[in-house]
Structure 1
């Protein structure tokens, strides 16, 4: 799918050009923040909307957004910069029928609801995680922000567990009831399609070594910051080709950690540092995946139907009140079913566990398929379902 080239110039000029559009040209607006690129998570939705001749605007605050390198007459792309003050002014005066984004905390920081137009705000997830453990998804402990999603009108849910969690949270904290839509996960659909259409995957590097991908979450206790150097050394010494893929927020917030690992291993031909999180090649071509609490574990398991090695670092629970919800987190409930959990004290055993798990891969395939199909909405059809809902909303506002 081709997308419009950015109207690069001054940031203010891009904003002005967007504001000059007629309302029917900016009925459907997507916004991508600078730290988490939106496009990979909404590509299936955009494709389906384009197939129906819908006019789309895509706003981005990242100069590295891959959508800026493509061209199409069907979608207009605007780089609006990353100044918090300028973004606040812009969004307060936004005119659009719907705004779709993966950035939570609407109304709490620089992204405010429009003061001049009844925009319908839609949240779409950038992982398959539960909503009530990781505060980037839902409840926070702040007295003023019991929910990071409470200002949204609609939430496009990945699976039934998210619907249950959000409804339980709304009831517990007496929050506004939102329009919860059973959508699915577009990135999962794309990955499954890519895998099924490709030839037999080669899991070996150019040096004929099995490729292992380390892709952790972010935060001070994440796998990379806890034992990153030690783990890479163990795997290299065991004869694997190792790729590190840091979380975008680790690159942004902890560049020294990434630099330290790079400088330690960059001269080793069996080591790669991959900072292009929108690239799918590494995920699909990895013999094994090692992670902690990152949602990439479910993507790898559900797409490749291969087990995941989870290193047990401190649980990432930005919402300290998650236990009040009374529901076990999806990511906790399935970890030992789609892979194996290794304590951080036993990472030296990971090479042995990799060989054991992947020698018994048939034991996992059927189990992973059943968990995926039972938990996730509309596999293979999420783009169509989500596009239907967006069109329904804008038609209601006509």
Structure 2
């Protein structure tokens, strides 16, 4: 009870501190759902500082967000939690521009402010807008920073089908992909006799790979002599912690196995030869950023919009599978070790195709931060 009270007091203090900022200084606000989301904002923040010297107000729902205790240059930060204080923050927001990665604005308890705020959506996945998101997830934003042509096509098609007002669509790109590319680690890593490493990075939900198949995915990989890094989706940890702990218990002390729940997955990505996934957007980041192949397990699609097919556009995450790796049916899980070794051995041949796919599907590779920063600054000057 005392801990909850102290947390509420911190949240309320954060909101009041934000409101004390003079209105003329509330030009550009970033809202972060949690500490793991900074990776999507960071390239934009850097470009804002380096190219425009534009200060930001950073509002976060993560109690352990390091940027609250140690804000970066040009940043003032505020913690508002994820309960009633956050709801009040949104409903009373008076600022020029709000940049956020959280969809479903206006659909539930997070509403648009009555003040004249320009809401900009920043995609935190390469995947399409109409299958794994709720139908109206993006309808109430003023602008959308689009990862690639698929986002533009899907958004315009929905607007036309429903008679919605046209949003401003910016050919942005994907900052996290740029960060991965900046590491210069494209292609298979040098092993020098060390075992192949496979990153198991599924999505969450009742059809997620871990939720449906658990140990049947991990065991054949370890039995084949591979090093396995399991990176569960944060929502799996939040919704099914006991299931996850029970699944990893047999291997928790095995040197061939590692559980990675770090908010920033970059290290695990860079060090892995291949990825095993289902419908996770992380698969597109891995393959397009590192030019390394994916093994997709053919579990049922993750669908939050049951009417997604009415758009008449196949989601990019469905289209991409045949271009990014191999698809394995669930009746072949026992053969995963052998399949993984084969895919890793052929990893080099995938490089050119994956690089070409990146150029077709992603805007402004290597320049997304500068593109977004220039647009956001233009909004503050209107």
Task: Say whether 1:97 aligns with 2:96.
Answer: yes
User: 1:227, CA displacement in angstroms?
Assistant: 1.2
Q: CA RMSD in A?
A: 2.0
Q: 2:79 maps to which residue? A: 79
Q: Please give the per-residue CA displacement for 1:334-356, whole angstroms capped at 9, x wherever unaligned.
A: 21111000001101222222222
Number of the residue aligned with 1:3: none
From 247, 253, 260, give the equivalent of 1:261: 247
Larger RCO, structures 1/2 (Cα 8 Å, 6+ apart): 2
**Cα offset for 1:76?**
0.9
Counting matched residue pairs gives 374
- The answer on whether the counterparts of 1:40 and 1:187 sit within 8 Å (CA) in structure 2 is yes
The change in CA–CA distance for 1:199 and 1:379 in structure 2 (over 3 A counts) is: closer
Q: Could you tell me which residue of structure 2 aligns to residue 41 of structure 1?
A: 40
What is the CA–CA distance in structure 2 between the aligned matches of 1:362 and 1:213, rounded to whole Å? Answer: 17
Q: Which residue of 1 is the match for residue 180 of structure 2?
A: 191
8 A contact 1:37–1:62 mirrored in 2: no
State how far apart, in whole Å, the 1-side matches of 2:139 and 2:192 are.
46
Counterparts in 2 of 1:2-13, with a 5 A limit?
10-13=10-13
**1:291-370 map, 5 Å:** 291-370=277-356
- Conservation of the 8 A alpha-carbon contact between 1:204 and 1:211: no
Q: Which residue of 1 aligns with 2:381?
A: 395
User: Displacement of 1:199 after TM fit?
Assistant: 12
Unaligned runs of 5+ in 1: 1-7, 140-146
CA–CA separation in structure 1 for the residues paired with 2:307 and 2:331: 28
TM-score normalised by length of structure 2: 0.93
Could you say which residue in structure 2 is the equivalent of 1:181? 170
What's the CA shift for 1:317? 1.6
- Deviation, 1:87, is 1.6
Give the secondary-structure state (helix, strand or coil) at the position aligned to 2:183.
Answer: helix
Residue 5 of structure 2 aligns with which residue?
Answer: none
Judged with a 3 Å threshold, the aligned counterparts in structure 2 of structure 1 residues 155 and 380 are, in CA distance, closer, same or farther, namely: same
* Whole-angstrom CA distance in 2 between matches of 1:189 and 1:62: 25
2:154 corresponds in structure 1 to 165
Question: Where does the alignment leave 5 or more consecutive residues of structure 2 unmatched?
Answer: 1-7
Distance in 1 of aligned mates of 2:42 and 2:190: 26
Give 1:202 shift: 4.9
What CA distance in whole angstroms lies between the structure 2 residues aligned with 1:297 and 1:263? 25
- TM-score, length-normalised on structure 1? 0.89
Equivalence for 1:125: 123
CA contact (8 A) 2:187 2:290 kept: no
Shift of 1:306: 1.0
Structure 2 partner of 1:238: 224
SS of 1:108's equivalent in the other structure is: coil
Instruction: Mark the CA change 1:200 to 1:225 in structure 2 (over 3 Å): closer, same or farther.
Output: closer
Which structure has the highest helix share of the two?
2
